[in-house]
Amino acid sequence: MKEEFKIKNAETSDSLKNESQNDTANVVKLIEQIAERYPKKNALIDHSKKITYQNLNEKANQLAHFLQSRGIKTSSKVGVCIPQSANRIIAFLAILKTGAAYLPIDGDLPQARIEMMISDSEIDLMLTVDSFPDKIKSYENICVPINLLFEDKSFLELSVETLPIPITPNNPAYIIYTSGSTGIPKGVIIGHQSFSNFVQYQADILGLSNESITLQFASPSFDAAVIDIWTPLIKGATIYLYPNNKIVGEPLLDFIINNNIDTIPLLPPMVLASLPHNRPIGNLKTIAIGGEACSENTVKNWYKKIRLINSYGPTEATVAVTNYEFKTEVNPRIIGAVMPFTSLLLLDENLKPVIEGTVGELYIGGDQLALGYLNRPEDTKKAFIKTPEWLLEQSNLKKTLYKTGDMVLLREDGNLEFFGRKDDQVKIRGYRIELAEIEHNISKLPQISNAALKVHKKENGLPALVAFVQLNKTNDDEIKSLQNIRAKLQQVMPTYMLPDKYVIVEKMPITHTGKIDKSILKIPDNQIKNNSTPKWKEDNLSEIVKHIWKDLLSVEAVEEHEDFFELGGHSLLLAQLHTKLPEPVRNRISLPELYIFTTISSFVKEVEKRMLETEVSQKKKAEEMVNELVKDAELHIDFTVNDLPDPIVLKNPNSIFLTGVTGFVGSHLLEELLQQTTAKIYCLVRAATPEEGLERIKKTFKKFKLSWQSDYENRITAVIGDLSLPRFGMDTENYNFITENIEVIYHSGSSVSYVQPYPLIKKSNIDGLHNVIALAVNKKIKYLVLLSSMGVFSWGRPFTKKTWMYEDDAIDQNMDAVSRDLGYIKSKWVMESIAEKAKMKGLPIINFRLGFAVCHSTSGATVMNQWWGALIRSCVKLRSFPLVMGLKDELTTVDYMCKAIMHISKKKEAVGLNFHLSPLAENDVSLTDFCSKMNEYYSTNLEGMEYHQWLSQWKHDTNLPIYPLLSLFTEDVHEGKSLVEAYENTYYYDRSNTRQFLADTNLTPPIFDKNLMTPYLKFMGIFKD
């Protein structure tokens, strides 16, 4: 692992480093210097009242003398509960001049919160105004109404000279109370060195000078106020005080324009989202945002109009530790790189560096750390931990690290990307889910203004995800908007991350710090309860299905013509739907068939039709399916091959066309192509633009822990298209360019589903292959490397009575099993049959039959919702596994297969051959073997159980990862056996061709031992260490 991925230390500029070592650089001294340099310049403008730097400094000095006369000294704490005004800032500065620490208290906070802060902090005095008697009545004995004080004759006679009080780096400067989202609010103590370091650096980041005009917007209790008060003042800028930060939108923008404001030092993202972005913005040039994640739509609306800076940091590290200016990439989760005086580390739960390219918890070290929590030594000890000895030995880190609880990723460009709070990770349906990631994906949708996610307990006690969304246009049709939101999210997120319920809110509730207040978001009462399902009668099926839909989809009304998936349905809900149907109905229609009959009207019509017909036998159904598959296996493209391309292009291609690049195998194959060739690689990807397509590829690499090299963008071209469409949906010019320039095609793309029926899958898989073959023979003949599956042999052993299948065996002999198998397996059989016909016509094809790509052998990366992983996680949760002997899936690793494909496909002798990328027979791991190994290696104590006894444990548990695949375990495919049972004692596979072509390498099929299984199980979250 590279050292820079373990520790990110920022270099400190010499000027800042030198200043930070003495007391001349503290904020008070810096402002006094500005007052000497620009005495008549306006520092603060409060309504029509203007305060020059000389006025500010002298008034603060007078107040400091008064405070000293009241016993305020270096160790004191002084509260400030003053409404938005110049007097508030004068009070802050005066307290700092005495050497004491100020505690800002927002008068709009609830009285209980104000009283808690005063009591907990044990302040010595409080500066306030006479209009706050009710909220601080209990503390009148320590309150000084500053508005009355400033009118007092004796006060006006106090000295305007600076107090001769030295301020040392570790003197407390201010105390900010955290929001209390993880418990009781705690006072964070910030020292002068941290305060000064941050303010100076941030002022430079914002580009502030004595000519700047800035906005002071933030609540004083929010540490954003540290930025928008002190960064302008140390540079001699002019600050306009916004009178009421509850009024946003048009009035705020008018204020900005009318006062020629050019810089907003910090604005909550929710407030920025409220500003009209399609209006002139006057002199506004720079805005920094922070406090919570910004929506992508808001970033897009603003980043080209102004300098938009994303500032990130916890209160415990003095406001912010990173900044990121949006220039070309608008991902709002990017929070930037480390700033001076700071060290950032990404560590796991054992305080060890995370693997490069993976998400870890952020720890912060350096001079910006707070001094601790006020009067809470135990909390301080938990959050501000001792730096591990191994880190002290390797770096110049200090002895304390702050544990942020934020999950971040270090990107290839050196910037950090935020992935939410560690305590926002929830486990639902067996998957560990980041709420922030789902919120981010929802907020990206164009019709969404803001989104927030909460976990709600259903009546059965199971957790459910509830998405609260605010629409951009309040007059939009809410039902259609929700349908569109659901449909869009299904395209970008796996099923297990989709919200169970959506609630449209007119306006998001906001805390006094400008963040979304999730505590106020509630599910309306009329959406919580549902009546019981009507009893089954032959004439009320439509009523029953409507009721089930409304219950599952959380909608108040359903029309018979509406589509289940357009209303937000997904595979998990479909499994629940099938379970809830009356038994006579379930017996007539299978779970996969529900993917076809997706409206109530079509479903009821089909069921009623089948109720009147004599039930067709399994054998008859299989015969009908065989006929359909044979018919679909016809080659629809006529071509002639006169001359084969030069085989040198296999070994040293100039240009390659790759499909399936955002899939598990396809992405790893792309990595091998990039590393093993110098070719330009054209990747077919579904996206709106090539830039978006490239970003999808990058995100896929990141998801599977693949390293993205800086030169990849020069070699990859994202070709926008759809595999299932003629010419991939490309225009003539682009298609012709591809056909004329491509030399080799690697076809990895296909739709993989364990529940969808054959009619739905064949369009993308079978039509897709026809389109690929059309490309391969257009203009010039191209080599085609086809990725097929060991599944084309299905579970045919009961019919063929054979033990082994060889690479050159005809796949037709297993048709009795294929016709009863998954829709996906049927499609792979048809695809390979079509490819065989194309090969017979002379098309140069190399065919690889892949085993099951369980994971990457070292990183453990896997597809979280794939069948095998879901099964293993479910077995762990149940602490048992089914005793289906010989249930195996040709388990292997994705990196082994892709390296083998790369090596073999470069050889001209491979053309026309089939290659089995399966495990050695002696290492072919069954489910029983896998679970036994887990018991041996990790003491999991998984119990082997009789199949139906095991099934009865979970077939009604909708929260189990395997539940969406329930039909594989329950529906009869042959002689009373489910598909899972039918795969008992399946074939072993010969791999003579593969062995021969890999003889000159050290590539061998992986063995599933502890070294391989551990990273895989860790990646899935089964084990943490």
Is residue 544 domain-shared with residue 509, that is, in the same domain?
A: no
Averaged over 755-764, what is the pLDDT?
90
Average pLDDT of every residue of the chain: 88
> How far apart are alpha carbons 331 and 469 in whole angstroms?
20
pLDDT 10s digits, 882-893? 998 888 889 999
Residues 991-998 have a mean pLDDT of 96
Q: Residues 86, 178: one domain?
A: yes
Give CA–CA dist 636/770, Å, rounded.
7
CATH number of the domain within which 551 lies:
1.10.1200.10
Strand partners, 127: 80, 144
What mean pLDDT do residues 200-224 have?
94
User: What local confidence, expressed as pLDDT, does residue 959 receive?
Assistant: 82
Residue 393 pLDDT > 80: no
Residues 666 and 690 grouped into a single domain:
yes
Three-state DSSP at 43 gives strand
pLDDT above 90 (res 499): no
- Rounded to an integer, the average pLDDT of 96-100 is 96
Q: Evaluate if residue 532 carries a pLDDT over 70.
A: no
pLDDT at 430: 55
Regarding whether 291 and 326 lie in a shared domain, the answer is yes
In a domain, residue 243? The reply is: yes
pLDDT over 60 (residue 1): no
What digits encode the pLDDT tens for the residues 303-314? 999 999 999 999
pLDDT band, residue 17 (cuts 50/70/90): very low
pTM above 0.75, yes or no: no
Same domain for 512 and 609:
no
Is residue 519 situated within a structural domain? yes
Judge whether 182 lies within some domain. yes
Residue 247 in tokens: 């009024």
- Which pLDDT does position 16 carry in this prediction? 36
More confident residue, 75 or 474: 75
Going by pLDDT thresholds of 50, 70 and 90, the confidence category of residue 616 is: low
Looking at 490, 523, 556, the residue that finishes a domain is: 523
Arithmetic mean of pLDDT, 785-795: 96
Other beta carbons within 10 Å of 777: 20
Residue 631 has pLDDT above 50, yes or no: yes
Residue 688 maps to which CATH number? Answer: 3.40.50.720
Domain match, 314 and 348 both: no
pLDDT at 609 over 80: yes
Strands 425-428, 431-434: pairing is antiparallel
**Residue 460 placed within a domain:** yes
Whether residue 11 is predicted with pLDDT greater than 60 in this model: the reply is: no
Average pLDDT over residues 265-280: 90
What pLDDT, on a 0 to 100 scale, did the predictor assign at position 584? 84
- The answer to whether position 233 is within a domain reads yes
Residues 300 and 310 in one domain: yes
User: What's the pLDDT score for residue 485?
Assistant: 82
pLDDT at 1021 over 80: yes
Q: What is the mean pLDDT of residues 557-561?
A: 84
User: Is residue 641 in a domain?
Assistant: no
CATH of the domain at 482: 3.30.300.30
Question: What pLDDT does residue 20 have?
Answer: 39
Same domain for 689 and 816: yes
> Is residue 121 located within the same domain as residue 203?
yes
**Domain stop point among 342, 374, 409:** 342
**Confidence band for 550, pLDDT divided at 50, 70 and 90:** confident
Cα Rg of the chain, angstroms: 33
CA distance 482 to 503: 9
pLDDT in tens, 954-967: 988 888 889 889 99
Distance between CA 832 and CA 808 in Å, rounded?
13
Tens digits of per-residue pLDDT, 234-251?
A: 999 999 999 988 888 899
Query: What local confidence, expressed as pLDDT, does residue 713 receive?
Result: 92
At residue 619, the pLDDT reads 80
- pLDDT at position 295 is 83
- The predicted-structure confidence for 173-187, as pLDDT tens digits, reads as follows 999 998 644 457 899
Lowest mean pLDDT: which of 56-70, 259-273, 466-480, 632-646?
466-480
Contact 219, 245 (CB under 8 A): yes
Q: What is the model's pLDDT at position 459?
A: 57
Are residues 559 and 662 both part of a single domain?
Answer: no
Question: Alpha carbon of 1010 to those of 858, 932, 936, 938, 964: distances in Å?
Answer: 11, 12, 9, 9, 29
What range does the domain containing 118 cover?
14-342
In this structure, the answer to whether residues 442 and 585 fall within a common structural domain is: no
With a cut of 70, say whether residue 770 has pLDDT above it: yes
Q: Give the CATH number of the domain where residue 69 resides.
A: 3.40.50.12780
At residue 672, the pLDDT reads 97
Total number of domains constituting the chain: 4
Tokens of 480: 């259609």
Q: What is the structure's pLDDT at 608?
A: 85
Q: What is the pLDDT of residue 551?
A: 81
Domain match, 808 and 844 both:
yes
Phi, psi of 179 (to 5 degrees): -70, -20
| Mean pLDDT within 847-872 | 94
Is residue 947 in some structural domain? no
Q: From the DSSP assignment, how many helices (H) and strands (E) are in the chain?
A: 39, 42
Specify if 528 maps to a domain: no
